[in-house]
Chains A and B, each alone.
Chain A
């Protein structure tokens, strides 16, 4: 009985945990899909997500965690080169919100994305690019 109890009692918890995990993954997947759309709308004119494919701006493949101004064969402003930034999610979020505030003198011609939800979705998508 004890054995059965041990086996049975955790099951609802396990199911709940599994459901929660699936739900989280579904939400995350949804965020990534939405983020892909945000990227297409806001970023894709100047940035590719293909590794090594630089447009006017550098490839954003592997951007999360990357040190700024380090993509080979990409062109950067002196301001960004001197910024010492590492593209953590927080830093990307701040930069996408107001590029010229984070990197004064930078050359990215983008006014910023005001929606926090869209930035979160964009970050979820960028995090998959590795």
Chain B
């Protein structure tokens, strides 16, 4: 599990025990994953960070970055001797509008300074056609080290119908981590968030981090004429023993993933140099058996639509808009049989819309809207929820400063840093505006100020 998600997992542990896998999924997505932009890619390609990343940092990719990822992380400046290793450290201060009771694990009720994570990456070209992005992370809050995001891929470029075409294969540990665009849950805004805050509510779809790191999968993809992207893959759950070996811990095992798990993606993309856009659809169809020793599983059918637009111009003024909508249909056979839910069928939908502006690839501002909405179930959404409802909504504002990562920057291509201030405001949290937990806590009490220093080298 991603370390930044540890706060969310703690909050949801009670729910997970009662509700099983629906909230095993939810528990992993209470906050967004930290972003990844690693200088070893810059050293390999001879490019500055800004060539691949909007605002010269973080996972929001430019068209150049999209193509670099699709190309299997193998593009280079043709020179050898590059070591595909990088590091990253995130430190932060978190303040919530009202202190948390009980306090998050190993933290104070409020005003927490933390070392969120320290990561090492194997990131870059391993051969002409094979590249990797594999992260191991020390979680400064959970105080353990484990495998994090991993994507190893093979890519071959040829011509089909006279047009350049990439055929590739990705082996990875999180559905969507291999996606090259900026609007699926794994890589969407916020690119880093407080592990001690409240994320985007206590419930979330399976494709929104519900399986991350506890599965391994393989997918085949193609990218035709720099325009059409298509991908199809499948996943299997790691055994508890393997999860333990990877530092994930057996205790958080989500159960056994069904053998019929399918991940798919279709998108169109246009790089017009001054601007770029993509639009697509994606899906994850799966089932989870929460208790490996007892028959019974729950089904998830996730269907998403997404789109992005980027105004790039001369890169002095860069503006982006990203959006996604995910609709999940749940069939809760196991949950109903074990009294973990009242209703056999249920829905959970997630909407995200965010817009960013960066000046001189240095000064950035982003505003985001998030909405989680689902059908009520008094048993499934009980402790910590009001009205048996998973509904959460709010806004995120962020301002950031990325002084380096450009061609003439100090320390390029070895050093980069982003300093940011992020504020999350909740209109509704876990089903209500007020008293959502039955103990008098209101949604606005979860409003979170997150100041972060995020560096990579």
Assess whether B45 is interfacial by the CB under 8 Å rule.
yes
Cα distance, A46 to B274, chains bound together (Å): 15
Listed A/B pairs (10) with beta-carbon separation below 8 Å: A40-B314, A40-B315, A41-B314, A41-B315, A46-B47, A50-B407, A56-B47, A56-B78, A76-B78, A111-B226
Chain B positions 26 through 63: 1 when the CB is less than 8 Å from some CB of chain A, otherwise 0: 00000000000000000001111001000000000010
Chain B residues, CB < 8 A from A94: none
Assuming the A-B contacts A41-B273, A45-B47, A45-B51, are A54 and B314 also in contact, with contact meaning beta carbons closer than 8 angstroms in the complex?
A: no
By the criterion CB–CB under 8 Å, are B313 and A41 in contact?
yes
Number of chain B interface residues as a range: 20 to 34
Looking at chain B's contact residues, the main secondary structure is: loop
Could you tell me if A75 and B77 are in contact, using CB atoms closer than 8 angstroms?
yes
Check B77 against A41 for contact (C-beta < 8 Å).
no
B173 CB to nearest A CB, Å: 30
Q: Are A56 and B274 in contact (CB under 8 A)?
A: no
Chain A residue at smallest Cβ distance from B315? A40
Within the complex, the shortest CB–CB distance from B423 to chain A, in Å, comes to: 33
List chain A positions with a Cβ less than 8 A from chain B. 37, 40-42, 44-46, 48, 50, 53-56, 73, 75-76, 109, 111
Are A55 and B273 in contact, CB atoms less than 8 angstroms apart? Answer: no
Interface centre among B78, B312, B313, B408 (most CB of A within 10 A): B78
B residues sitting closer than 8 Å to A (CB atoms) are 45-48, 51, 62, 64, 67, 75-79, 226, 273-274, 312-316, 407-408
B48, B51, B76, B314, most chain A CB atoms within 10 A: B314
Distance A111 CA – B225 CA, assembled complex (angstroms): 10
Beyond A45-B64, A46-B47, is A55–B77 a contact (Cβ under 8 Å)? Answer: yes
Output the least CB separation between A23 and chain B (Å).
26
Instruction: Report the bound CA distance from A76 to B77 in whole Å.
Output: 9
Given contacts A41-B314, A76-B78, 14 further A-B contacts (CB under 8 A): A37-B314, A41-B273, A45-B62, A48-B407, A50-B407, A50-B408, A53-B407, A55-B45, A55-B46, A55-B47, A55-B48, A55-B51, A56-B77, A56-B78
Cα–Cα, bound, A76→B78 (Å): 8
Which chain A residues lie closer than 8 Å to B46 at the CB level? 54-56
| Closest chain A CB from B76 CB (angstroms) | 8
A56 to B45, CA, bound (A): 6
List of 7 A-B pairs having minimum Cβ-Cβ separation, nearest first: A75-B78, A40-B314, A55-B46, A45-B51, A37-B314, A56-B77, A56-B46
Contacts of A44 in B (CB 8 A): 315, 407
- Residue in A closest to B275 when the chains form the complex, CB atoms: A41
Nearest CB in chain B: distance from A117 CB, A: 14
